[in-house]
């Protein structure tokens, strides 16, 4: 179950997060660019099927099993370096926060469209949400939590699946995952400020 949890965190959830941040980044090119990219994603063939089986079901499994891990795991003191233990704890806290953040984000966007309160999730919808300074801070924290959780989860995935077994390989994967965190964070935060 842990290996499935790890795999789903990267494929498809990590890929979806990356794609979602890139589509949102179109907001830096203006209203029309974002709306075109968003409309393209919403009009993909079998979009409901894709959302349910590629996003929502894997995300729910990852979230619920992740909460179980977060509330039952013990810190790895003595097994890993101080930094790895700190990242282990941060992974659990960001996961708990992300369950709340993602539920809120889906409620504010997709759910509002589904019940007819909004025609579509477009630039104006996000601009209205992020007009509130508290929501902007909440979304910045959400982006940072998501990008950290993905990057650190990628490191764990590489270890769990036996891809990085040596200490040297794990050291290099730490640098790579740090780069993933920084790049995706910049993309996500630039997108948020483009809506403001």
Q: Do 90 and 150 touch, CB atoms closer than 8 A?
A: no
Q: Do 113 and 121 touch, CB atoms closer than 8 A?
A: yes
Q: What is the pLDDT of residue 82?
A: 80
The answer on pLDDT for 166 being more than 90 is yes
Q: Domains along the chain?
A: 2-195 (1.20.1300.10)
Residue 133 confidence class, pLDDT cut points 50, 70, 90: very high
DSSP state, 80? B
pTM metric for this prediction: 0.94
Q: Cα(170)–Cα(168) distance, rounded to whole angstroms?
A: 5
Q: What is the pLDDT of residue 80?
A: 62
List the end-to-end C-alpha distance of the chain, in Å, as a whole number: 41
The answer on pLDDT for 146 being more than 80 is yes
What does the pLDDT look like over 149-161, one tens digit per residue?
Answer: 999 999 999 999 9
Average pLDDT over residues 26-46: 95
Six-digit token string for 35: 């709306």
DSSP state, 12? T
Q: Cα(149)–Cα(132) distance, rounded to whole angstroms?
A: 25
Q: What is the pLDDT of residue 77?
A: 57
């Amino acid at each position: 179950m842990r290996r499935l949890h790890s795999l789903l965190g990267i494929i498809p959830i990590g890929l979806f997060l990356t794609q979602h941040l890139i589509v949102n980044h179109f907001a830096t090119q203006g209203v029309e660019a974002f709306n075109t990219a968003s409309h393209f994603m919403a009009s993909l063939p079998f979009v409901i099927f894709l959302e349910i089986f590629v996003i929502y079901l894997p995300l729910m499994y990852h979230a619920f099993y992740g909460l179980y891990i977060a509330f039952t795991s013990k810190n790895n003191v003595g097994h890993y370096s101080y930094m790895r233990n700190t990242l282990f704890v941060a992974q659990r806290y960001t996961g708990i926060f992300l369950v709340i953040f993602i539920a809120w984000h889906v409620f504010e966007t997709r759910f509002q469209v589904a019940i007819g309160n909004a025609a579509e999730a477009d630039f104006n919808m996000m601009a209205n949400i992020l007009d509130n300074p508290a929501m902007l801070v909440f979304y910045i924290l959400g982006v940072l939590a998501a990008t950290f959780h993905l990057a650190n989860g990628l490191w764990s995935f590489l270890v769990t699946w036996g891809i990085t077994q040596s200490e040297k390989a794990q050291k290099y994967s730490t640098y790579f995952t740090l780069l993933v965190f920084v790049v995706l964070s910049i993309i996500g935060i630039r997108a948020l400020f483009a809506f403001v």
